[in-house]
Structure 1
């Protein structure tokens, strides 16, 4: 399965809004298996603590909380202007958002945020 960085951003935003002790209520048009996969890899990367519960080989309860690093990354991509500039910059280089290393994406988003802040 390919990483979907739009979904990653949407998940991080959703988790931030959610109470850590409650199940994530995801939009009906989101695929629960794809969401569960992205929560798993975000956990592996240290950005969330994932507590997804499975039943009958399906993710039934999606529970996750942001880590410090998750908050830091989300803060760098939360602003819509920064996110658009990050995506556009990647596309201008002829690349897809999900095909570049995560650390490169993080650094590029950070540069875009610094530009918006005038730093």
Structure 2
């Protein structure tokens, strides 16, 4: 299964919108639907990167690092520029996507404030 950066973004936005900070994994890894397996796979990728952390049997939460990534990629314009940057580089890891998005946000903030950041 391929990693889908857009799907990871969608999942983080979905998880953040939940009423509770304790989130549950979806379905059984082996007996679940294709969409549930896809979500579980991407959840594990986000755990690998430190965006999510398990907190119990079948439960997890978004980490501070995950919230930072989400803040950097939340804006659709920033996300589009981030993807273009990754594409021009020939692809990117989640960490590089975060760095690209953070650089774009930092540049926007510097321009808006008139200060070098």
Q: What aligned pairs does 1:69-84 form with structure 2 within 5 A after superposition?
A: 69-84=65-80
Bigger helix share: 2
Q: Provide TM-score, normalisation by structure 2.
A: 0.73
**CA contact 1:82–1:113 (8 Å) conserved in 2:** yes
SS of 1:74's equivalent?
helix
Shifted more, 15-24 versus 70-79: the winner is 15-24
State the 4+ residue runs in structure 1 displaced beyond 3 angstroms. Answer: 21-25, 50-53
- Compared CA separation, residues 52 and 13, structure 1 to 2 (3 A): farther
C-alpha RMSD of the superposition: 2.4
Matched with 1:21 is 22
Residue 43 (str. 1) matches residue 35 (str. 2): no
Which structure is richer in relative contact order (CA contacts within 8 A, separation 6 or more)? 1
SS of 1:49's equivalent?
strand
Unaligned runs of 5+ in 1: 54-62
